Structure 1
Amino acid sequence: MATEALFYADSYLRDFEAAVTAVSPDGVALDRSAFYPLGGGQPSDLGELRAHGQVWPVTAVRRRGGDIVHRLEGEPPPAGLEVTGHLDWDLRYAFMRLHTALHALSGVVWTGWQADVTGSHIYDDGAKARMDFSLEGIRINDVRDQIEERLNAELAAARPVRAYELPRAEALELPDLIRTHVNLVPAHIANIRIVEIEGLDRQADGGTHVANTGEVGRVAIINAANKGRINRRLEIALTD
C-alpha cells in the first residue's frame, strides 16, 4: 500500500498519526506521512516518530516506489505499530520559505531577462538556496542588485501561492510550464502538480511552499557567479 503524502494536502501539518507498514534496512514505511522525502531540489524533513514513550529520531526520508521510507536511529518499530510523527518544524518552514523564494526568483528573472532555470537546490541546513539560469551575454553581477530589489518587492506584495493538478496533456500546452521543462516530468504521471505564485510564476513542482510570498520575508543574494558561457548562479539566504 502506497504511503499517503499528507504534505500535499497541508504543507503546514507538523504532527500526525500513522501505522508502520513495512520495515527494511532502508528504514520504516508508514501508511501516511507528513515527512517530505528528498526530491526536486528540496531536502528531506527531519523529526521524530514516537510510540509508548519511545522516540525514534528521523534522520532522512526517501521515496521507494509508492512508499515514503523514514530512516531512523536505533532499533526500528515493528510493522503494525501505531506511531505519531513530529516534524522539525523550524527546518521544514525554512525549506518552505526558501522554496517559494526560488519560484519567485524564477519569475523575476524570467520577467526581466527571459532566462530559463537550469537547476536549483535548497541546502540541508535551511539557511540558503541556489538557482541556476541560462543567461547568455549578461554578467550576473551587473544585474545582481536589480534582481534582489525586484525579488524583495514581489515577496513583500504577499502574492498568493497555490498548488493544484492539471491533466498532463493540458499542462504540456501551457507556455509557462513549457519554459520550466514540464516535459521532463516522467511520462507515467497522468496529472501534474502545479505550484503557482499569482501573477508571477507557474511551474510543475512537487515540493512544499508557504501560502503567500509575504511569509518568506526578505532575502539577500549572498553570491552571484558566472558558471561558464551561458549558466549563471544566484545564491540566496533568508534575512528575516
Structure 2
Amino acid sequence: MQRELFNDDAYLRQAAARVLHHDERGLVLDATIFYPTGGGQPGDIGHLVLEDGRRIEVTDTRRDRGTHQIVSTLTSGGPWLVPGTPVGLELDWPRRHRHMRMHTALHLLSAAVPAGVTGGNLTDRSGRLDFDAGALRLDPAELTARLQAMIAADRPVHVRSISGDELRAQPELIRTMSVSPPLDAPIVRLIEIEGTDLQPCGGTHVARTGEIGAIRVGRIENKGARNRRVALDFLEDGP
C-alpha cells in the first residue's frame, strides 16, 4: 500500500520514501507527496534526491489504471532504482500551490453558478468549468464580483468524508454531470468551503479562500445549445 501524503497534508513539500518498484511505466514509491493527474488537476512534478546527493527530475505523476498505484515519470537517462532504495521527495511547490488556489477557485465558481457541471480542467495559470446553463444568464463582471467577495470572506476549507451509501442518499452534493464519484466506495472524500460549498473531490486545495488571491472570469463561451464554458484567470502570482 502507498501512503498518499498529499491527502493528509496538501502543504507538505518534502518527504522521505522508499522505492517499491521501477520499470518502464515509471517509479512507484511506498509514500508520495506527488498528486497524480485527476479531476481536471494536472499531476505534480519535482525531484527525487538520492543518498549520494544526485537529483532526478520527476516530470509527471499519474495513477495506473490497472493497479491504482501512483506512478511518477522520471527524466530519461537516470538510474534504475531497485526496490528498497531510500529517496527524498521534493515537490515543485510554486506550481502545486497555484493548482491548489485555482482548484479551490473552481469550487467557488461551481457554487456561484446554479447549474450542473459538465466538465472542467485547470492549469497553474487558469481554469474552466462547463455548465449545463440553458437559458441562465451569465455575466463575467457579475461572476467576478461574486467570486472576489467569496475570496475576501476568507472562509476555511475543510476535508471531510462520507460513505458511498450516504452520498447516494444526498445526490445534491454531486455537481458533476459527466463523471460520478465512486458511490460503491466505503469512504468518499468531500471538500467543504465553510458556509459556501460542499462536494466530493479528490484534489488538493488551499486552507482558506483568502489564499486564492486575485482572480477574474476571463470569458464565457457557448459550447452548444445549453453548455456554457466559464474560464478563470489569475490576476497576480498570489500569496
TM-score by length of 2: 0.92
Conserved 8 A contact 2:116-2:177: no
* Equivalent residues in 2 for 1:98-117, closer than 5 Å: 98-110=102-114, 115-117=115-117
> How far 1:76 sits from its partner (Å)?
3.1
Greater displacement, 63-72 / 203-212: 63-72
What's the counterpart of residue 127 of structure 1?
125
SS at match of 2:84: coil
CA distance in 1 between counterparts of 2:232 and 2:185 reads 31
Q: 1:145 aligns with which of 114, 123, 141?
A: 141
Conserved 8 A contact 1:182-1:203: no
Conserved 8 A contact 1:136-1:229: yes
What's the counterpart of residue 172 of structure 1?
168
- Specify every segment of 5 or more residues in structure 1 that has no aligned partner in the other structure, as ranges: none
CA distance in 1 between counterparts of 2:150 and 2:198 reads 14
> Percent identity of the aligned residues?
40
* Equivalent residues in 2 for 1:40-55, closer than 5 Å: 40-51=39-50, 52-55=52-55
Conserved 8 A contact 1:116-1:179: yes
What's the counterpart of residue 95 of structure 1?
99
SS at match of 2:113: helix
Residues 176-212 of structure 1: per-residue CA shift (max 9 Å, x gap): 3144459822354221000011111111100000001
TM-score by length of 1: 0.92
- Specify every segment of 5 or more residues in structure 2 that has no aligned partner in the other structure, as ranges: none
Specify the code of the residue in structure 2 equivalent to 1:6: L
Conserved 8 A contact 2:21-2:81: no
SS at match of 2:44: coil
CA distance in 2 between counterparts of 1:179 and 1:36 reads 22
SS at match of 2:195: coil
What's the counterpart of residue 82 of structure 1?
86
CA distance in 1 between counterparts of 2:176 and 2:68 reads 25
Matched, 1:38 2:37: yes
Q: CA RMSD in A?
A: 1.6
Residues 138-181 of structure 1: per-residue CA shift (max 9 Å, x gap): 454xx221111101100110011111111111122225314445
Q: Residues 92 and 130 (structure 1 numbering): CA distance in 2 closer, same or farther, change over 3 Å?
A: same
SS at match of 1:184: coil
Number of corresponding residues? 231
SS at match of 1:206: coil
Matched, 1:235 2:231: yes
Specify the code of the residue in structure 1 equivalent to 2:95: L
Specify the code of the residue in structure 2 equivalent to 1:61: T
Structure 1 segments of 4+ aligned residues over 3 angstroms from their partners: 178-183
Conserved 8 A contact 1:180-1:204: no
CA distance in 2 between counterparts of 1:209 and 1:14 reads 14
